[in-house]
Structure formats: C-alpha cells, structure tokens
Structure 1
Amino acid sequence: MTSSGTALRRTLGVRDAVVVGLGSMIGAGVFSAFGPAARAAGSGLLPGLAVAAVVAYCNAMSSARLAAHYPASGGTYVYGRERLGAFWGYLAGWAFVVGKTASCAAMALTVGAYVWPGQAHTVAVAAVVALTAVNYGGIQKSAWLTRVIVTVVLTVLAAVVVACLASGRVDAGRLDIGLPSGAGGVLQAAGLLFFAFAGYARIATLGEEVREPARTIPRAIPLALGITLLVYASVAVAVLGILGANRLGLAAAPLAEAVRAAGAPGLVPVVRVGAALAAMGSLLALILGVSRTTLAMARDGHLPGALTAVHPRFRVPHRAESAVGAVVVVLAATVDVRGAIGFSSFGVLVYYAVANASAWTLSRTTPSRVVPVVGLLGCATLAFALPAASVTVGTGVLAVGVGAYAAKRWWTGRHAAA
C-alpha cells in the first residue's frame, strides 16, 4: 500500500482511459509497421494481423481481470509480484521498462523523420523534452492532449481509407491470402504487428489514477482494443488493395505511398502530419506507462528510492518521469532505434506472458483459464518467431536484468545474515 503522501490522484474515467489506450495503440505503428509485416508475410499480412489481434485480445482480457483486483500503478509488475512471486513481477517490470524505453526513442525519432528528416535527432530530443513537461504537469493535461492527437490521427486515417477505396484503383485480387511465406512469415508479421497493439497496457499501468478502477479498467481495455482493431483492419485492407503485398513491403512510408497511388497526392502532406502526431501520441503515453512502472519498481527497492517521489501539487511521479525522459533523450540523440521495434515486441511479449500466467491463478475453473492459456502460448510463439537479432538482443537484456536481481538478493541476504 502507498501512503497518502505518495498516492497518485484518481481523475481518469472510462472515456479518458480509452483515449489513453487509443493514443498508445493508434500511433506510429499504423503508419510504419505494415511495411515490415508485409515483407515478412507477403499476402499473409491480414492473417498476421488477425493472429496479433487474437493474442492482444487474450492479453487485454487477462490484464483487465488483474487490474480490477490490483488497481495500482505498475501493471503486470504488480500482478506478477502478487500472483507469482517477487521475481516474476520484477522480470515483467524489467522487460516493460527496457522494451518501452526503446520504443519511446523509436517514436521520438519517427516524429523527427516526418517533421524534419534532415534534423531527425534534434526534433526527437525536443519532442521528448516537451512531452515529458506535459506529463509533469499532471495526468489530466496528458489525457487532454492525447484526446486531441487521437482525434486528428483518426481523421487522417479515415481520409486515407476513403481515398483508397473511392479511387477505383483497388484490386480485390491483391487481398488474396496465398501465404507464400508460410506459417513462419505470418507469425513473424504477427509479432511485428503486435508492437502496434500493445498500448492497452498503458491503461492498466495507470491503475492508481483511474476512478473506480474495478469498473473502469475492464471496460476501457476491450473498448480501446476493439476500436484499434477496426481501424487497423480498415487501413490494412485499403492499403493492400491499392499497393499489393510486394509494393507495400518495399514502401518506406506505406500510407503516403498508398494515397499517392490512389491518385490523391494532395493527401501526402496530411499523412505526414498525421504520422508525426501519431508518434507524439504514442510517445506521450509511453512515457506515462514507463514512468509508472518505474515508480512501482522503485517503491519495492528494485530501482533507486528517489524515484518514488510524487509531486506535492501535480500528484505525479515527477522524478520517475524526469529520469525516463532523460534516458530517452540520450537514446534519441545518439542511436538509430528503427531495429528496436523487434526488441520492443520481444520485451512486451515477455511482459504479457507473465500477465497471462498471473491471470491463470485467479480461477481454478477451466473456462476461466482458456483465455490466459491461449494468451501465454501466443506470447511465447510470437516472441520466438521474431527476427533472430531481436530474440538474441532481447534475451541478453533480460539476462542482464535477471543477473542484477540475483546480485541484489545475494547482497541483501549477506547483510541480513551479518
């Protein structure tokens, strides 16, 4: 339990929580993930999207059940700790923090690439600083800005879908599911597309700032996921129908290429603005989620205790937010993190594997355990279907975290014995 001096303020209702989830999911992933997924799966892109959606649905249901039982900041870090033990909670928290910190840098660089390609790193740093400041001012300001961004991005995506489908250039034959890459390509595409679905975790990690969490969170998570799936499916069908799998897989900016091919070049600048705003929305929500998990881990002594501080006026974990922002600034200024999508997906899939295992313990009845079992198996399958480099780096980073945990336990035990 947290004391009244360190507790966060509960201000978010169902609508705000859904908007935070949408801001996380309908972000840069919809503008960039379809290309790599099409390269992996070819015409199996749509089945890959369906597989990613099924795994995401299972994860969402498990997360919603757990969040209703444990409405505190930290998400699966808290659930794993309470249901499976301290180590599993720590592993989930570590996977989330390192994976999503890389995602923050990737989103910041996406903003830079669309706003000012020649100065992408500079713009990325400025975006991180600005959005960290917004988060510092309180969760309501963050939710308000996310609502504006989501509205604009949904409008842009609607324009893309309408332009493609109304152009008369859509070829239904391009939607043929021939699975030329086999099951392995479909699963790899699903793993890459999962990156774009994973934002509903932000709703759960904000559990301490949601009003009536036992009612709000289980409603907000499936609503946000359902809306996102509808949007993604519509965009995927429209873009595939215009470009086909091969051309889509080669496109650096798939949606901009699609509207150009649909005979609407005037929409290209609009799509660029929408992509930049979408990446900003994702970055805003990512910083929120990572800082709250950092707060929860610091409260339990896995990270420096100074990060537990909550601002006396704004009631936000301002030191955790500042620390996360500082790390992301360094990455955004110095590293090309485009390859971090695969690494981030690996970390997040490990995170949700722990969530499903935790949800499995909530009930002893077989029907209640079907969803977490499917989710756990799905997470494991997609994690190891990712590109080999992502799996190797992800496994190595998780091993570093496990080593740090073991060293801390040894040090603590040694001093306790003394």
Structure 2
Amino acid sequence: MYAWPASEVPVLPGKGRDLRIHDTATGGLVTLDPGPVARIYVCGITPYDATHMGHAATYNAFDLVQRVWLDTKRQVHYVQNVTDVDDPLLERAERDGIDWVALAEKETALFREDMTALRMLPPREYIGAVEAIPGIVPLVERLRDAGAAYELEGDIYFSVESDPHFGKVSGLDAAAMRLLSAERGGDPDRPGKKNPLDPMLWMAAREGEPSWDGGSLGRGRPGWHIECVAIALDHLGMGFDVQGGGSDLAFPHHEMGASHAQVLTGEFPMARAYVHAGMVALHGEKMSKSKGNLVFVSRLRQDGVDPAAIRLALLAHHYRADWEWTDQVLEDAVARLGRWRAAVSRPDGPSAEALVEEIREALADDLDAPAALAAVDRWAALQQEQGGTDEGAPGVVSRAVDALLGVAL
C-alpha cells in the first residue's frame, strides 16, 4: 500500500530542541533522545468513512512530533497502518450494498487526499492489515506454541496473564478495563475465556465474511491488536520511540499490543513513550462514526475552506486536550491565517530570530502548539503596528511556520 506525497519541509538555521512529551504509561513528561533515526508508529484508520476532525487532530499531533525531530537534524522512520478488514468496515459495506474491498480503497484514497491537503508528512511505510497477514500468522503461532495463547471454538485468544507487564500502559484497574473492553471491540462476556480481558488474535472464518489461510491456525482473519504489533515489529523493532494514537486507543489497543510484543520478544517496553491525543467533540459529544456527529475534512475543503485554516484550527488546541469543534473555531482560524499572510507579504519586518526560538521552545515542551501560535500572533501584530527593517524577516517567519507547524503562508 502506498502513502501520500510529502510536502517539502524547509530547513531552518540552528537546531531544534529535544522533545519532552507526556507518556501515558508513566503519567508524566519524558524527554525523548532518539538516535540518528527517530522511530514512531501511529495507528491508522479503519476506512469505512471519510476523515473527520477527530482523525485530523490526532494525525496533526504526530505530524508535529515528526517536525520537531526533523528540526533536530534527525531522520524520522514513521510507520502507519490501515485496518482494511474489520467488523465496522464489513458492516458498513453490507449496509450500503457495496464490496468491502471497494469501500476500503475508496475511503483510503480520500484519507490520502485529506492528509496531502493538510500537509501531513507521510509515513515511510503505510501498511494494510490484509497485506500484513503473512507476517501476522507466524506471530500468533509463536504465542500459541509458547502457551501465551489458546483456542476457543476455533478462535485464538491471547492470555493477558502471560505478560507480567500487562496494565502498565493504561494504568487502569481490572474493572475499568472490562468496561472499556466491552465498549471498544472486546468480548469480555464470552463464555470459555480464561480471562474476560483476553483479546482475540485470530478469528476463525465466519460464513459470508472474508478469510485467509492461517496455516496451522486454520482459515480466518487477524485480531485488531496483533495487526499493529506485526507491522511495528517488522519495520521498527522493539523499543521504538513513540507509539501514538487517540486517547481512546490507550486501552485496549495499545495495552494489548504492548503485551503481545513483550511476550513475543521477551523485551520491555514495546515503546519508550505512549502518546495519546485528545478527543474532538461536536454538540457536546465525542466525534465518532457510530454517533454520526462528524465534521469531515473533505467536506470543508469542498466548501472552499483553505486547508491551512483547518490546520490552524487544530493547532489552536493542545494535542492532549479534549475540545469541541464549532463554527467559531474555524472562523478564528480563518482570521488568524489572514493576519499571518498579510504580515509575511511585506518586504521587511521585525526581526524573526527570537520568534523561531519561541516556536521551537513551545513545541519541544509537550507540543504546546497554542503557545507557538501566540508567538506568531505577537510577531504579526508588531508587523502590523510598527513594521520593521529586517528584509529577511517575513521569509524566515514563513519558512518557520511551514517547517514547524506545517502551515503554508
């Protein structure tokens, strides 16, 4: 599977700061000091509907992580998956009377278009669950043969008790985990499971549903968590720098994935930091496909909204915050974009060296994009009120905003 084209990232003078970021597993800030190549895995979409603002906010957060690392003169090895076979996708395809493969391909193509428009840097590897199946089957077989997985009516389940570190990603107690498991794709009430929290690794073939040759596992399809584990281990290895996604993935997805990987390799942890973006609401409820309360990136673009304004609307909120999308949020972003573009359109202006360092400092401090935006606002206001004599300043500001915030002025 291919990703989307990369926009050019300007190289700024000087060097950025090492990133301090909130780690869900420890509950505090950690300073990341990757080697020459920083490694990040971000969980991708299940392509049964268009990209909404909740998706965009999550991928914007991890785009900032990449930009901070690139500014430190590191390379970035970014991997993202596409869950291109799963129950929600199959259900939507059946509801709409279309082929599930065609639905997945259509929505993945639209996602690529949205990411390109928003200037999100693409992953080096963009891997679908279906194409990962040949690498998933041996991992499930290894877990089963090691006694960390068991069969139940043809399905294969992972035993969470096989990982002594289980629970250390989310920090939740068993009762909270059980509630979330039921809400987020698990089956804690299925009779016969050794532990209600045990997640499925391999689902035996069901009539009328797609299935693949699973070798000794029989025909079937992979569970959700093992999909990402196989892709991450294959392309990044253990101990990569950041595992990212929305806050609703901390449990069960990232918790279970970490346990799968840790039992498979005998190493701990799977990722040095588990980083989670907040949820975006509309009309007081979390934006989600199941509720249908969605604001689509593609719809805004079709309505003539500048993608740079959409990006500024996202950047106006701290990535870990839960917030609500409103018309005012977008209006404020459009107005800000206009002020910034007017400010950099002049041939000269106030010195911009200090501004570049302010943006760097803000982003290195747990991706404080609102503080970075405020710094640019102050420079633009000074430009409007007093102007300046530095002929290169507007160009420096334009390149810094592009390189660090992904906004083209």
Taking structure 2 as the reference length, the TM-score comes to 0.25
- Larger % of helix: which? 1
Larger Rg belongs to? 2
- So what's the TM-score if we normalise by structure 1? 0.25
The structure with the greater share of residues assigned to strand is 2
